[in-house]
Structure 1
Amino acid sequence: MTDHDDARVRKALQGMDFPATRNQLVEYATDRGEIDDATLTALAGLPEARYGSIDDVVSAVPHRPGTTSNR
């Protein structure tokens, strides 16, 4: 992900209560309605886990959605 992508993930999850699972992250971002397709795909591509903070989410988002490579 680029710095711009990181900012989009942070914006989509602004106000999210942590810890949260991947499904909770996707649901929250979708419900807020402030998520584009690329960011939604990136969040949906996260490994199933419980994330303790938004920083944990940003560092776990695949570099290219659909891959398992991190930055």
Structure 2
Amino acid sequence: MLTLELELELETCLLEIAREEQQTPAQIINQLVGQYIKSRQSSDLLVNIAQALPVVEVFSEKEPLSLQQEMRDEWS
């Protein structure tokens, strides 16, 4: 069990949401923390995938913004 100190405004909102959803404040907080953890794990997974991508040697010596500008200029 964990005791939280919420700002008065947050506490008021939490109690109102709990009443509307017919749940306890603890249930609402558990759901929100669970969603937060899932979103962090998804974000971490995406970062891990991006880091595992191979390096494309053709672009390794280029500064990304100048490369982007060069590519745009080709289409002008």
TM-score range, shorter chain: under 0.3
Kindly name which structure, 1 or 2, has the bigger radius of gyration based on alpha carbons. Answer: 2
- Using the size of structure 1 for normalisation, the TM-score is 0.26
Greater per-residue helix proportion: 2
The one of the two structures with greater contact order (alpha-carbon pairs below 8 A, sep at least 6) is 1
Give the TM-score normalised by the residue count of structure 2: 0.25
Where is the strand percentage greater, Structure 1 or Structure 2? 1
